[in-house]
Amino acid sequence: MPSRSALGWGIVFVVLVAFAIPWFLWGDETMVAGLPAWIWWHVAWMGLTAIAFAAFASRDWGTFVEVSR
């Protein structure tokens, strides 16, 4: 049985992957500060991903890579 920490990080990773491509912005021609809205989505999403990875690396790095014996 996976730990609660492993389940939590698994959910975080699935959400990060699921929303990495902004399907809901396809065909939207909204411009913000001279760039398409989907570019800003990617910039913000990469920032959120970096924060999540930093938290994972500092707290639970071995969650998915260590072998239990």
Question: pLDDT tens digits, residue range 23-57?
Answer: 888 888 889 899 998 899 999 999 999 999 999 98
DSSP line for the chain: ---HHHHHHHHHHHHHHHTSS-GGGTT---EETTEEHHHHHHHHHHHHHHHHHHHHHHH-TTTTTSPP-
Record the pTM: 0.75
User: Which pLDDT band holds residue 64 (cuts at 50, 70, 90)?
Assistant: confident
69's tokens: 């014996």
Contact 10, 26 (CB under 8 A): no
d(CA 49, CA 69): 31
pLDDT at 3 over 90: no
User: Which pLDDT band holds residue 66 (cuts at 50, 70, 90)?
Assistant: low
